[in-house]
């Protein structure tokens, strides 16, 4: 073909409302598609990935493909198809910020590429339009090879020198995962459409099970440092979980699917010890601390200071809370696409990128000045959920800037972004 134009079907095989992918189809994809280099993915695919590779392979020499794609193409699960494209094609044009389709509640991108491998073009320049509505004002030329050099193969604009200088200072510190290893950072309850059956008011278990407060949505955690507002109560019912999972295993067997749908209750130890809850979906990092027995759904991450296996962090939760809720960390998360945003797209922060956030480490005694201010904020919010703690939060921001050794000029960049 000389030209391929399309709007490939967007069918997810891994998201919450995913389509079913049977074992035979999965094995076929793994055997016949070159972008799948990691067989451990086991179904973290979307139909558009396969359309993209097929388009590359059926094109005539130097012919073009034009695809309209969902903005989810920028998300982590798509990193391998992005890598495949970067290595096996020349990206001609990328236009972002499309949101013109009625009744479509996400943004789109327009992607044009040829099947000429990058290695045959010494310096392919991508015509990048960062905003569809003002295309001429938001035109950039980007070297394609730069996208191959980042870990996630992200199709994104390179940062200016001032931002890069800030990133260098931030990234000299260890990641969140290094400071809170193993299962100290994890997801919460995964009830797969059966939430109502675990709510205290509906649960029919005759056994005595732990009862926990339960965070259902963003309204329960509306802002940084907020107390948990109006939680419902949920029963930590392992018997019900096992019964439902047994049904899903049987269903998967009957439909020849390798991976059954599964419910998970998370760690009771984590829920019944001091912890941080972090919202997965927000246009900035929003986290809070609680020592009340509490769980949450999969829209939240939970961070523990220690776990049931004896693994323990040297960083206090309240110190970490100060760092996470700072303007600096949200700036970094947005600029580095750890938080993925769009005009229509609900902001998302996936757990693997979240764990890469660089967290400045301090001796325990030096964390106390941060903890003291955090205690004041939490106390004020506990007494009055609408308490104005902005001045205390500004104090923390200044301390964080100093901790990461930012200059006045660099601080101004971040403050202007916020």
Both 73 and 208 in one domain: the answer is no
Task: Based on the fold, state whether residues 79 and 198 are members of the same structural domain.
Answer: no
* Same-domain pairing of 354 and 240: yes
d(C-alpha 240, C-alpha 247), whole Å: 11
Higher-pLDDT residue of 26, 174: 174
* Distance of alpha carbon 89 from alpha carbon 81, whole angstroms: 11
Same domain, 88 and 219: no
Compute the average pLDDT of residues 101-130.
Answer: 81
The stretch 128-143 carries a mean pLDDT of 80
**Same domain assignment for residues 125 and 267:** no
Confidence of residue 41 (pLDDT cuts 50, 70, 90): low
* Nearest CA among 94, 84, 150, 87 for reference residue 125: 94
Residues 307 and 376 grouped into a single domain = yes
- The CA distance from 276 to 224, in Å, is 11
Residue 286 lies in a domain: yes
CB contact at 8 A, 313 and 306: yes
Residue 367 tokens read as 């964390």
Q: Report residue 355 CA to chain centroid gap.
A: 9
Query: Does residue 163 sit within a domain?
Result: no
Identify whether residues 338 and 370 lie together within a single domain: yes
Backbone CA torsion sign across 228, 229, 233, 238:
negative
* Residue 226 resides in a domain: yes
> Against a cut of 0.85, is the pTM above it?
no
Tell me the C-alpha distance between 361 and 335, whole Å. Answer: 22
Q: State which residues form the domain around 241.
A: 176-417
pLDDT category at 40 given cuts 50, 70, 90 is low
Do 137 and 263 sit in the same domain of this protein?
Answer: no
Q: What is the pLDDT of residue 391?
A: 98
| pLDDT tens per residue across span 218-254 | 999 999 999 999 999 999 999 999 998 887 777 665 5
Which CATH number fits the domain that encloses residue 329? 3.90.220
Q: What is the mean pLDDT of the chain?
A: 88
User: What proportion of the chain, given as a percentage, has pLDDT over 90?
Assistant: 59
Query: How many distinct structural domains can be found in the chain?
Result: 2
Verify that 190 and 110 share a domain, yes or no. no
Q: Which of 196-205, 290-299, 340-349 has the highest mean pLDDT?
A: 290-299
CATH number at residue 147: 3.40.50.150
293 touches 212 (CB < 8 A): yes
């Amino acid at each position: 073909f000389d030209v391929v134009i399309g709007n490939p079907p967007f069918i997810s095989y891994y998201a919450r409302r995913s389509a079913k992918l049977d074992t035979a189809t999965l094995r076929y994809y793994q055997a016949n598609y070159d972008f799948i280099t990691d067989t451990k993915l086991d179904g973290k695919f979307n139909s558009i990935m396969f359309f993209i590779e097929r388009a590359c392979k059926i094109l005539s020499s130097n012919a073009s493909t034009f695809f309209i794609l969902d903005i989810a193409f920028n998300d982590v699960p798509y990193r391998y198809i992005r890598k495949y494209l970067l290595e096996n094609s020349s990206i001609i044009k990328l236009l972002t910020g499309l949101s013109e389709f009625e009744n479509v509640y996400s943004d789109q991108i327009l992607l044009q590429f040829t099947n000429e491998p990058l290695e045959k073009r010494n310096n392919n320049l991508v015509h990048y339009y960062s905003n569809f509505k003002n295309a001429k004002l938001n035109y950039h030329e980007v070297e394609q090879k730069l996208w191959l050099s980042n870990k996630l193969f992200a199709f994104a604009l390179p940062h200016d020198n001032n931002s890069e200088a800030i990133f260098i200072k931030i990234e000299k510190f260890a990641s969140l995962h290094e400071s809170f290893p193993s299962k100290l950072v994890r997801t919460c309850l995964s009830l797969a459409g059966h939430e109502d059956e675990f709510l205290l008011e509906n649960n029919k278990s005759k056994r005595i099970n732990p009862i926990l407060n339960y965070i259902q949505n963003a309204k329960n955690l509306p802002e940084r440092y907020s107390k948990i507002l109006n939680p419902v109560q949920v029963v930590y019912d392992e018997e019900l979980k096992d019964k439902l999972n047994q049904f899903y295993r049987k269903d998967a067997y009957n439909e020849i699917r390798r991976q059954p749908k599964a419910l998970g209750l998370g760690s009771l130890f984590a829920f019944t010890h001091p912890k941080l809850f972090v919202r997965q979906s927000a246009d900035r990092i929003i986290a809070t601390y609680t020592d009340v027995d509490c769980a949450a759904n999969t829209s939240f991450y939970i961070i523990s200071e220690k776990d049931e296996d004896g693994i323990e962090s040297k960083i206090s939760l309240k110190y970490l809370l100060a760092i996470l809720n700072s303007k600096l960390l949200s700036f970094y998360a947005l600029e580095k696409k750890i938080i993925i945003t769009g005009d229509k797209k609900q902001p998302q922060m996936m757990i693997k990128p979240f764990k890469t956030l660089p967290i400045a480490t301090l001796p325990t005694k030096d964390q106390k000045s941060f903890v003291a201010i955090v205690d004041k904020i939490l106390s004020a919010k506990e007494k009055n959920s609408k308490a104005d703690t902005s001045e205390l939060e500004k104090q923390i921001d200044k301390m964080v800037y100093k901790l990461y050794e930012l200059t006045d000029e660099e601080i101004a960049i971040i403050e202007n972004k916020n």
